[in-house]
Amino acid sequence: MTSRTARTFRLPDLGEGLTEAGLVQWLVAVGDTIATDQAIAEVETAKSVVELPSPFAGVVTALHGRPGDSIDVGAPVLEVSDRATTAEPTASAAAHEAYREEERAGSGNVLIGYGTTERTGSGRRRRPVTGPAAPALAAPAAPAAPAARTIDDTPATADADTRRPVAVRSPLVRRLARDLGLDVHAITPTGHDGAVTRADVLAAAVDSAVAGAAAHHRETTDADVEGLPVVRRERLSPLRKAVGATLTRSRSEIPEATVWVDVDATELWTLRAQMAPDGGAAPSITALLARFVLIALEEHPVLASRLSDDASELISFDGVNLGVAADTDRGLLVPVIPRAHVLTVEQLDSALRELATDARAGGLPPERLRGSTFTLNNYGSLGVDGSAAIINHPDVAILGIGRILERPWVVDGQIVARRILQLSLVFDHRVCDGGYAARFLRRVVDLIEHPLRAFGRV
């Protein structure tokens, strides 16, 4: 005996506190037959653009959303109909159950590969579907409203897809959520055991306040601004929201200070040209400066440390994961070179070129966009000399590099043309004072102005 089984694939838990994804393009269309783990869409998270695989096989009966839309975690993505035999479970049913286990575990793995079944012969369909929506294209389903705002530790008894189980270990956290009028089921937990923490509740309260202020702003500005009609209103992408949240947190939590200096980079400029291998290209200025920075961080490791969440402890590391700011069509990304302190200039140069290419192509996996302990920002490549950079939280420092220009410079009492660049160090004043930061910066300056002193270590 067989029967038609309709399945709704909902956007899974993305991990790392992400609550939505932007739909870039469909890779399937209504009427297509898909296999388990086949990529059905490309979505943009706050980290990167990735393929979204289906947890089950069947015939696509509806697609929810159009390219450019944002899809919330738990909202429908597509619907699939298949023939299931009631006598014995099908492979797709087992695959779907494996997917649900991944989703309930909150691992984030469900976004980039479920591990549900071995891939079958036909492979993935890569045909983008970007044309006008067909009539069968279903409108995104509105999320079900909770029956009542309750703060408890038990799973809701309503719809398991819209009311997920939560844990609130502390009565103080439970009371805080109640006092703020928040539904704990709508709060993303970050506790090590999956529990909602005080910080989670406060972050949700801020988000709620910002959303309310934005709604009020829309109501008061939709007509016009001093006689100017509104042309369009665009929803921020997940990346822009994530960047905004990180930078806002950085500015609100970190008492930052800045020191800067103009550097004579003439000798480095000359030496770099001599470092090109036969038939090859010389290492980039960024690679050379990165190596000098890593040498200086060995002597000033506090600037590559982190503060604990409550800012009561300084956490030091054996080495440096170097974040490198990259300007892309999607916005600012900070890909990371892990254990950069063990790399040579040539290896750093190769890693930087690879990261820049992958970042601009949107092909960096999420794990390459986290874990930095110090950030380098070469805004000189954008044609500017200086910048009031914002620390990439949870780092405690960022070094900015301006463009290298020929400028008049006094050498031995004579005004001559030299290659000058400006360095700007922004640091968390909680972890060190200005003297420590200045000594680190002067060490970098010394290596730039006298690069042969570091040659043995380059």
Coil, strand, or helix at residue 415? Answer: strand
The closest alpha carbon to 250, from 368, 389, 359, belongs to 389
Helix then strand count (H, E) for the chain reads 8, 21
What gap in Å lies between CA 267 and CA 446, rounded to an integer? 11
Structure tokens at 89: 């479970």
- 182 close to 205: Cβ distance less than 8 angstroms: yes
- 79 close to 60: Cβ distance less than 8 angstroms: yes
Q: Which residues contact 308 (CB under 8 A, 6 or more apart)?
A: 314, 315
The closest alpha carbon to 91, from 72, 65, 67, 117, belongs to 117
Phi (first) and psi of residue 282, to 5 degrees: -70, 150
What gap in Å lies between CA 115 and CA 102, rounded to an integer? 9
The number of beta carbons lying within 10 Å of the beta carbon of residue 178 is: 15
Considering the candidates 64, 217, 393, 429, report the single residue annotated as catalytic: 429
- 106 close to 30: Cβ distance less than 8 angstroms: no
Cα-Cα end-to-end distance for the chain: 72
Residue whose pair of structure tokens reads 């190596």 in the numeric block: 291
Q: What is the DSSP string of 338-383?
A: TTGGG--HHHHHHHHHHHHHHHHHT---GGGGS--SEEEE-GGGGT
Structure tokens at 67: 């390219």
Indicate if 96 belongs to the active site: no
424 burial level (CB within 10 Å; 0-12, 13-18, 19+): buried
The number of beta carbons lying within 10 Å of the beta carbon of residue 292 is: 21
Q: What is the DSSP string of 289-314?
A: HHHHHHHHHHH-GGGG-EE-TTS--E
Q: Which residues are catalytic?
A: 429
